[in-house]
Amino acid sequence: MNELAGKHIVLGLTGGIACYKAAELCRALVKEGATVQVVMTEAAAQFITPVTMQALSNRPVYHSQWDAREPNNMAHINLSREADAILIAPASADFMAKLLHGRADDLLSLMCLARPIETVPLLVAPAMNREMWAHPSTQRNVVQLKADGAVVFDVGSGEQACGEVGDGRMLEPAELLEEVIAFFRPKLLRGQRVLVTAGPTYEAIDPVRGITNLSSGKMGFAIARAAREAGADVTLVAGPVHLATPRGVRRVDVRSARDMQAAVQVQLPDATVFIATAAVADWRPANTAEQKIKKDGSGQPPALSFVENPDILASAAQSERAKSGALYCVGFAAESHDLLAHAQAKRARKGVPLLVGNIGPATFGQDDNALLLVDAQGTVELPRAGKLTLARQLAAEIARRLSVGR
């Protein structure tokens, strides 16, 4: 899936050791279908060579405002007009200050100043020492750049080339790629506050054993990412899974169904959309042993009794906010057979406007899925595709229903 097919990105490099990450970022952008025009400052060329960037972008690198390759000698005009976005990565503290004050003493800063603001967005990925990042002047510059319309990405935290540890690292190439992809996605859920549950729950029998299921959490995490891409403010309540948190998504980790219920109850009053993707255990042991249950030599398993877990989705759907239309609830049904019948019955039983069904054994742990959307008007099939693709389609379906129903 070429996420950036048809996009032309000017990748600007300024002076900083993080230029080494720009090589991998360029390669990743090209791999996702974008064409990339690299423009480097003189300082950037001290850290990585134009030859390297030319090889990765498959285009000549520009670095001088006096470049004779442009017939009109106006590279700062020509290159900026061709771009769908200008991405400065890394953006040094000095270059950010230059952007803020409209200084234009090299090709890259000239391009940023001369770009049509309404049609060529400016994306900035800061990279600097932790003290430089924390300095009040840099923080003021970040605030003003955002006010001027630039998109300033977060910085990473960790070890820095100087040997110090803290904030100021440029985001990793994969993180920046995710941010760039998200930037270009339609903001269909802008203004919405979306709460997503994902993954399985784990119900302890004793300190080393428990009851769970095969849900990997991939669908729920994809939905959280897609909702954030669509402009929503997203909180993800995740059961015990080993998945990276999508960029820009707040994450709350839980273990059992009751843990998940408690976390949802805290977040739900602020949510406008609740998507219950998690495969919550229907039952839990009535009692959890404090020590590991040992075999007693009888050949008989220990007697276990069970109690029903709380119904998180039904509780949310029956709340006053849901009944008033302030909260839109979406349920998931992972079935093994008779998907349509079970999904219709579950939608009626839970009292949710939209129920999304899938065949659990065919999707647990996989990277693709097929979904069946069931609402009061009928059904919509989303054919098998990657989970992120389906998550984006679901986000669009939710947005359409919100615009119709509100």
The rounded mean pLDDT for the chain is 93
Q: Is 33 helix (H, G, I), strand (E, B) or coil?
A: coil
Residue 405: CA count within 13 A, CB half-sphere:
20
Check 19, 26, 112, 162 and give the catalytic one: 162
pLDDT for residue 296: 82
Tens of pLDDT, residue by residue over 273-329, are: 999 999 999 999 999 989 998 888 888 888 889 999 999 999 999 999 999 999 999
Mean pLDDT of 95-118: 94
User: 21-41: per-residue pLDDT in tens?
Assistant: 999 999 999 999 999 999 999
Give the pLDDT confidence score for residue 148 in this predicted structure: 96
Is 405's pLDDT higher than 60?
no
d(CA 302, CA 361): 29
pLDDT at site 69? 83
pLDDT at residue 19 tops 60 = yes
* Residue range 193-405 in CATH 3.40.50.10300: yes
Residue 364 has pLDDT above 80, yes or no: no
329 as an active site residue: the answer is no
Q: Which of 127-136, 281-290, 372-381 is modeled with the greatest confidence?
A: 127-136
pLDDT in tens, 173-200: 999 999 999 999 999 999 999 999 999 9
Listed in order, strand segments (DSSP E) in 137-243 are 151-152, 156-159, 165-169, 193-198, 203-206, 209-211, 233-238
3-state SS class at 39 = strand
pLDDT above 80 for 335: no
Res 404: pLDDT: 62
Kindly report, as residue ranges, where domains of CATH 3.40.50.1950 are found in the chain.
8-184
Inter-residue contact 334 to 356 (CB < 8 Å): no
Which residue, among 65, 1, 78, has the nearest Cα to 37 in the 3D structure?
78
Where in the chain are all domains bearing CATH 3.40.50.10300?
193-405
Distance between CA atoms of 181 and 390, rounded to whole angstroms?
16
In DSSP notation, 255-298 reads -SHHHHHHHHHHHGGG-SEEEE--B--SEEESS--SSPPPP-SS
Region 343-361: what's the mean pLDDT? Answer: 88
The CATH number that domain 8-184 falls under is: 3.40.50.1950
Least confident of 236-245, 280-289, 333-342, 372-381: 333-342
